[in-house]
Amino acid sequence: MSKKPLILGIESSCDETAASLITESEQGLPIVLSNIVSSQVEIHKDFGGVVPELAARSHIEKIDLIVQKAISESGRKINEIDAIACTAGPGLIVCLSVGLSFAKTFASIINKPFIAVNHLEGHALSPKINSLLDYPYLLLLISGGHSQYLDVQNLGKYKRLGTTIDDALGEAFDKTAKLLGVEFPGGPQIEILAKQGNPEKYDLPKPIFNKGGCNLSFAGLKTAVLKIAKNIETEQEKFDLAASFQKTIEKILSKKTKIAFEQFEKNKTLKKKVFVVAGGVAANKKIRSMLIKLCEEKNYESIFPPIDLCGDNAAMIGMVGLERFKLKQFNDLDYPAKPRWPLDEKASFLKGAGVKL
């Protein structure tokens, strides 16, 4: 029986310090042996968002312990590790640098290959951990920093079909929660508040709803929520606004996903139509339910990562590392941190005021 690769994944792109050991079965299916995630919610809560310097300091304090714990819980030894995979971007550069420095040093000490991983590719491949997923597939990546539709053609080969021209969806959820007086990170709480509200109470804008292909925009929606939130007087009005916001997001994603389906299918013959939804917002059960129903209508198979792998974690980084290790796609130890690192490097930059669609 041949030895299967054992990969150590490390993640420190924002406010989670994470490490994971991943290998695969004789059939080539991934096996997560450990997946440790240390959150910094308490550190940043009073600031209403992530403070980069505090996040980096916390990574420095914890990363050694988190990696040790991941190795210990995996039941494996350091000398069994075949490669170190670490997030190199995109993210906060002071945070990325902590993980990268540790990973490179570790790889150098144990004399094993180093693999620089795109954090977004980690999300893109995260469903492979619990499902048989073949290329190509359509990906909706919705997280705190990114919202985009991607044609995933193969490992390392991505074509962007649409993206946000301003706020990411997770950012819009968090900012709306903050306007409603919910502590950071408030995005996941919007769904809970919405259950008690009337989704038809407020008619909120749906920016670029009827133009821009499957590009997205959430800044105008956030501004509308701000104006209404200033005049809220009762708890019920707060619930109604949360419900109206959630419903508006569902309408936007439904419309834009239909357009993305059309673009994905254009000029190609597909044996099977597969739609993957990944990133932190993929944990939202209402959005999941709506997209699953849409896929059933349009004859797509819908695939989501497990809830605990939707947010930032190291198992997904290890998953990319495992795929790249098998192809011997290694990186030099001087590989730099990349605060901005799009999956489709040929796609035009669409963020900022004055974007023409």
pLDDT for position 1: 46
* Segments forming the whole domain that contains residue 48: 7-127+309-326
Amino acid symbol at 233: E
Neighbours of 194 (CB within 10 A): 22
Neighbours of 266 (CB within 10 A): 9
State the CATH number of the domain containing residue 179.
Answer: 3.30.420.40
Question: Is 340 a member of any domain?
Answer: no
Question: Is 274 a member of any domain?
Answer: yes
pLDDT for position 348: 85
Are residues 46 and 152 part of one domain?
no
Which tokens go with 257? 């996903």
- 83, β-bridge pairs: 7
* pLDDT tens string 10-38: 999 998 999 999 999 998 899 999 999 99
Are residues 256 and 184 part of one domain?
yes
Are residues 147 and 112 part of one domain?
no
Shortest CA distance to 313 belongs to which of 156, 143, 129, 122? Answer: 122
Are residues 201 and 109 part of one domain?
no
Are residues 256 and 192 part of one domain?
yes
Question: Is 356 a member of any domain?
Answer: no
pLDDT for position 352: 60
Are residues 255 and 149 part of one domain?
yes
pTM: 0.93
Question: Is 161 a member of any domain?
Answer: yes
pLDDT for position 350: 75
pLDDT for position 326: 96
Distance CA 246, CA 268 (A): 34
Are residues 162 and 288 part of one domain?
yes
Distance CA 340, CA 329 (A): 21
Are residues 167 and 269 part of one domain?
yes
Question: Is 342 a member of any domain?
Answer: no
Integer angstrom CA distances of residue 200 from 78, 228, 239, 243, 285: 56, 14, 11, 8, 19
pLDDT for position 2: 63
Report DSSP letters for 248-272, one per residue: HHHHHHHHHHHHHHHHHHTT---SS
Question: Is 339 a member of any domain?
Answer: no
Are residues 257 and 119 part of one domain?
no
Which tokens go with 67? 């990696």
Are residues 173 and 100 part of one domain?
no
- Residue ranges of the chain whose pLDDT lies below 70: 1-2, 352-357
If one counts the domains in the chain, the total is 2
Question: Is 139 a member of any domain?
Answer: yes
pLDDT for position 357: 59
Question: Is 206 a member of any domain?
Answer: yes
